[in-house]
């Protein structure tokens, strides 16, 4: 593969304004070509791109095409930076009026050097917001696609789409469906193309055809070329997003150049200095569970009593720190090891961090999102009780994903909330073989009180369900109790999935009934009919009991349910087992019930719902 750096532009605005600046701050830059102006990280703009592409394992040759007016500057730069001087190509133009045009400059290199290979084209006078750019990831993605590749990024709020080449990209295939050069209207896309392309050798001949159609140099821009190739010729061209910003110096003035240089430099400094800490909360299933794994409907609520917190900080190498309690490597004695292993099991949270990181890289590679070459250290903490079905594992995965998205500047449009819930579930089921459904992951992504419909039709048509946040104002007091020494909650699912897949009538009808109870509970929540909601919670448990059987539910869960009912409280399982959630409308009896649970060796607490709309942190700190 061959790389070509383009620095042949004749933009005079910036050069003129530097020359005429009367502050004296920029006098040392008078006459300096745009690509040799200071960039971020204390480097010249072109220095950064040369360091990025100077990789023999990727490129057999790197060429630089410039104009006659600035040729000597780049010749000197090449000598000083170990760039092969013979690969600096002069296009012969000296002014804006006699310029060849960007596509013609590229075609000149291809024709004069008789190039017959795939090429990468990059504007050498383009500011990049991130100095940790990984071009190898771009090349791998290009080779995985049957067509050309355009790099794009999401415009900053202050940037206008009318000043850039805008692409519309199919999220499933990454194919660019439309290219618009500086559109005034007609699109809502904020995805901006930059002069960074990968072109297959078989497509190089199209440049001559395009140039024959465009005799004027002003029309020989890459924007017009891609409009012609994509919109008219309808060739397969794919897009890859870089989660960073770009600014082509081109025709900008001194104020814009200094503004973006300051913006990118400040952002780079701030990003590396500040640790990222994110939280995800435990949840209670209020209605419909466990039908989320069986095309049912559920209502669940995130609670602020219990949380998982992950902290990410940039580091030289990638480090996953074990938790001192959940990932023990030292023990007081063999008996100590025995007791801890019997109660806690062998699987801590470290595997969740590792699996999330692996799946995140895999997702971004597949979706055409190029990640920067930055390493980090991850550590986690959690107070969610283990093995009592409060979604402790998915909370760690969810918080880790939040950190990774923030660190790599991955937006909601890159990883939408419904897809994010699927991602978290896949980390657990595909990577770690944890039995789980979507409910927990959905409520931890959306946060608050969420109604979820997982109907077969929705899941097959769009790949996820219908998720609706519900009003959390004036909720009644829910309570939670859990066993202080629980068994593995994962076993509670038993063989129910096999029975459901085989079409057993009792199980299939039960899942439909769970969905009906959920719809009724949604109405009760809306009407503030707490007595109705309490009855529905009891019905939810009895329905679950009828299909799972007492042997499967286990004596610990049944004992907690029976104890709650002695005090007139509605009660059900909030998850897979090991805990119960209830609604007691008699506050005096709830005080008595708390004492009874504590005397029975259980942990009891009043639930504090987590309402994201009432928290400025939005689940992140």
Q: Quick one: 301 and 224 in the same domain?
A: no
Same domain flag for 472 and 578:
yes
pLDDT for position 272: 59
539-594 confidence digits (pLDDT tens):
999 999 999 999 889 999 999 999 999 999 999 999 989 999 999 999 999 999 99
Compute the average pLDDT of residues 280-287. 97
Do the domain assignments include residue 166?
no
User: pLDDT higher for 363 or 615?
Assistant: 363
- pLDDT band at 268; cut points 50, 70, 90: low
- Residue 250 has a pLDDT of 66
CATH code: domain of residue 362? 3.30.230.120
How would you class 274 by CB atoms within 10 Å of its CB: exposed for 0-12, middle for 13-18, buried for 19 or more? exposed
Q: Which two tokens stand for residue 402?
A: 């939040």
Round the CA-based radius of gyration of the chain to a whole number and report it. Answer: 30
Q: Are residues 429 and 505 in the same domain?
A: yes
Q: What is the rounded average pLDDT of the residues 132-160?
A: 90
Q: Which residue has the tokens 């799972």?
A: 548
Tokens of 232: 């008219």
DSSP string, 373-416: S-EEEEEEEE-SPTTSSS-HHHHHHHHHHHHHHHHTT--TTTS-
The closest alpha carbon to 97, from 14, 31, 10, 32, belongs to 10
Kindly state whether residue 305 falls inside one of the protein's structural domains. yes
Q: What share of the chain in percent tops pLDDT 90? A: 72
Q: What is the pLDDT of residue 487?
A: 52
Mean pLDDT value across residues 334-358: 89
Shared domain check, 216 and 114: yes
Higher pLDDT, 266 or 435: 435
Q: 382 and 475, same structural domain?
A: yes
The answer to whether residue 486 is domain-embedded is yes
Q: Measuring CA to CA, how many Å separate 354 from each of 363, 369, 406?
A: 14, 20, 17
442 shares its domain with 527: yes
- Write down the catalytic residue from 118, 381, 440, 453: 440
In a domain, 315, yes or no: yes
CATH number of the domain enclosing 16? 3.90.550.10
Residues 577, 512: one domain?
A: yes
Q: Establish whether 440 is a catalytic residue.
A: yes
How far apart are alpha carbons 478 and 429 in whole angstroms?
A: 30
Task: Kindly report whether the peptide bond that precedes residue 200 is cis, defined as omega within 30 degrees of 0.
Answer: no
In this predicted structure, the answer to whether residue 530 has a pLDDT above a threshold of 50 is yes
Q: Which of 252, 269, 286 is the last residue of a domain?
A: 269
Task: Evaluate whether residue 356 is within a structural domain.
Answer: yes
Q: Is 588 helix (H, G, I), strand (E, B) or coil?
A: helix
For residue 590, being part of any structural domain is answered with: yes
- Residues 478 and 591 occupy one common structural domain: yes
Q: How many domains does the chain have?
A: 2
What pLDDT was estimated at residue 270? 59
Same domain, 335 and 421: yes
% the chain with pLDDT above 70: 96
CB 461 within 8 A of CB 483: no
Does residue 155 register a pLDDT over 80? yes
Higher-pLDDT residue of 621 and 532 is 532
> What does the longest C-alpha to C-alpha distance in the chain come to?
93
* Amino acid 490: pLDDT: 38
CA 29 to CA 9: how far, in whole Å?
17
**Residue 165 counted as domain residue:** no
Structural domain range at position 308: 277-614
| Contact residues for 67 (Cβ-Cβ < 8 A; gap 6+) | 8, 9, 10, 90, 91, 92, 93, 94, 99
Confidence tier at 621 by pLDDT (50, 70, 90): very low
Kindly state whether residue 570 falls inside one of the protein's structural domains.
Answer: yes
Write down the pLDDT at residue 133.
76
Using the predicted structure, report yes or no on whether residue 492 has a pLDDT greater than 70. Answer: no
d(CA 197, CA 239): 9
Report yes or no: 93 and 100 within 8 Å, Cβ to Cβ: yes
> 574-611 burial string, b = 16+ CB within 10 Å, else e?
bbbbbbbbbbbeeeeebeebbeebeeeebebeebebbb
Mean pLDDT over the full length of the chain: 91
- Domain end, chosen from 236, 269, 302, is at 269
Q: What pTM value is reported for the model?
A: 0.87
Task: State residue 300's pLDDT score.
Answer: 98
Task: Summarize pLDDT for 167-190 with one digit per residue, the tens.
Answer: 999 988 999 999 999 998 888 999
- Residue after which a domain boundary falls, among 269, 293, 310: 269
Clarify whether residues 221 and 332 are in a common domain.
no
pLDDT exceeds 50 at position 308: yes
Q: Do 297 and 214 belong together in one domain?
A: no
Stretch 466-478: mean pLDDT: 96
Q: Are residues 368 and 242 in the same domain?
A: no
């Amino acid at each position: 593969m061959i790389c070509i750096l383009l620095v042949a532009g004749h933009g005079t605005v910036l050069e003129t304004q530097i020359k005429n600046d009367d502050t004296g701050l920029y006098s040392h830059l008078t006459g300096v070509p745009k690509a040799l102006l200071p960039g971020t990280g204390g480097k010249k703009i072109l220095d950064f791109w040369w360091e990025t592409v100077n990789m023999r394992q990727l490129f057999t040759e790197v060429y630089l095409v410039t104009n006659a007016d600035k040729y000597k500057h780049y010749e000197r730069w090449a000598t000083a930076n170990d760039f092969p001087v013979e690969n600096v190509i002069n296009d012969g133009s000296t002014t804006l009026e006699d310029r060849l045009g960007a596509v013609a400059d590229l075609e000149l290199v291809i024709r004069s050097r008789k190039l017959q290979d795939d090429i990468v084209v990059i504007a050498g006078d383009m500011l990049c917001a991130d100095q940790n750019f990984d071009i190898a990831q771009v090349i791998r993605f290009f080779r995985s696609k049957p067509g050309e590749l355009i790099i794009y990024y999401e415009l900053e709020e202050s940037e206008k789409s009318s000043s850039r080449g805008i692409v519309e990209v199919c999220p499933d295939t990454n194919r660019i469906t439309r290219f618009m050069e500086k559109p005034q209207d007609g699109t809502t896309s904020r995805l901006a193309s930059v002069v960074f392309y990968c072109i297959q050798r078989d497509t190089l001949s199209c440049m001559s055809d395009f140039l024959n159609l465009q005799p004027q140099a002003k029309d020989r821009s890459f924007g017009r070329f891609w409009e012609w190739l994509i919109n008219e010729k309808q060739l397969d061209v794919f897009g890859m997003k870089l989660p960073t910003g770009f600014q082509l110096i081109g025709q900008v003035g001194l104020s814009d150049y200094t503004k973006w240089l300051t913006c990118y430099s400040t952002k780079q400094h701030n990003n590396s200095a500040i640790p990222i800490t994110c939280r995800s909360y435990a949840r209670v299933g209020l209605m419909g569970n466990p039908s989320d794994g069986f095309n049912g409907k559920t209502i669940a609520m995130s609670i602020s009593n219990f949380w998982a917190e992950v902290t990410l900080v940039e580091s030289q190498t990638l480090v996953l720190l074990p938790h001192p309690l959940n990932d023990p490597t030292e023990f007081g004695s063999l008996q100590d090891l025995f007791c801890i292993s019997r109660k806690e099991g062998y699987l801590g949270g470290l595997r969740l961090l590792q699996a999330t990181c692996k799946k995140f890289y895999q997702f971004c590679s597949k979706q055409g999102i190029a990640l920067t070459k930055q390493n980090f250290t991850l550590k986690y903490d959690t107070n969610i009780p283990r093995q009592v079905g409060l979604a402790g594992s998915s909370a760690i995965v969810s918080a880790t994903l939040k950190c990774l998205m923030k660190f790599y500047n991955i937006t909601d449009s890159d990883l939408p909330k419904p897809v994010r819930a699927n991602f978290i579930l896949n980390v657990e089921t595909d990577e770690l073989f944890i039995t789980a459904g979507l409910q927990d992951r959905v409520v931890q992504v959306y946060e608050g009180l969420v109604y979820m419909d997982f109907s077969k039709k929705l899941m097959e048509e769009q790949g996820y369900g219908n998720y609706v946040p519900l009003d959390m104002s004036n909720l009644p007091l829910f309570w939670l109790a859990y066993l202080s020494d629980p068994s593995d909650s994962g076993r509670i699912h038993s063989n129910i999935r096999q029975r459901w897949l085989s079409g057993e009538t009792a199980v299939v009808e039960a899942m439909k009934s769970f969905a009906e109870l959920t719809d009724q509970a949604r109405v009760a929540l809306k009407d503030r009919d707490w007595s109705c909601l309490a009855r529905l919670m009891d019905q939810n448990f009895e329905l679950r009991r009828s299909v799972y059987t007492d042997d499967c539910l286990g004596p610990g869960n049944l004992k907690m349910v029976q104890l709650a009912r002695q005090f007139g409280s509605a009660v059900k399982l909030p998850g897979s087992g090991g805990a119960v959630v209830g609604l007691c409308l008699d506050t005096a009896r709830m005080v008595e019930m708390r004492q009874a649970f504590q005397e029975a060796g259980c942990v009891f607490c009043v639930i504090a719902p987590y309402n994201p709309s009432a928290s400025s942190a939005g689940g992140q700190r």
